[in-house]
Structure 1
């Protein structure tokens, strides 16, 4: 019975770690989605500009003139990278949810086993 109690503690700690990791992954996905929306807005702006429009990039305290093709390419590259990161993060979230659910089920089964053992000792 003592061994089961230790296992219960270990499972509880593992479940808590999964839940913490899951929350971190969800936070990361939200940040990525915000970056994606920001870059899509920039991309939309670039598409509405004339070919000869001036585009400036903030580098430290200085604004540097940038070629439209180069700026558009940089934003497209960022959007592609962010999209891949979102996909990777969503896969991680799914895995964490599945593993968390497995631990939760193990934990519930062990709790039931301990309750039955306690009832049998008290009733017997």
Structure 2
């Protein structure tokens, strides 16, 4: 193997290592996204259940420091609906972000395969 060929091989190996590191970072971001999404999905379910429990004759209390204070049913209902709206928006944002990350992951894997094939052909 001549000097220019070994230099080219080292550069390809360095390129492969950099791409593998980038892929690893992307995979961590995907795992984090899924973890946050799971938390929001649980919160959404809890809030929807809370909304179902807020019927017309329910007594609703809000914890303010160490004291429970009676809260207006309409106000409690509106607060829960706002939380559901916020959580739903966050889930939608996370879904878009996850799709983008997964597309990048696919591209990185394809690029890694191409570099590996170039290394094998040397």
* Shared fold, TM over 0.5: yes
Deviation at 1:61, TM superposition (A): 2.4
1:8-19 aligned at under 5 Å gives the runs: 8-19=16-27
Question: Which residue number in structure 1 is paired with residue 110 of structure 2?
Answer: 105
1:32-47 aligned at under 5 Å gives the runs: 32-46=40-54
Structure 1 portions without partners, runs of 5+: 118-124
Question: Which residue number in structure 1 is paired with residue 65 of structure 2?
Answer: 60
The alignment covers a number of residue pairs equal to: 114
Distance in 2, matches of 1:23 and 1:59, equals: 36
Distance in 2, matches of 1:44 and 1:58, equals: 20
Structure 2 portions without partners, runs of 5+: 1-8
Distance in 2, matches of 1:31 and 1:60, equals: 25
Deviation at 1:49, TM superposition (A): 3.7
* TM-score normalized with structure 1 length: 0.88
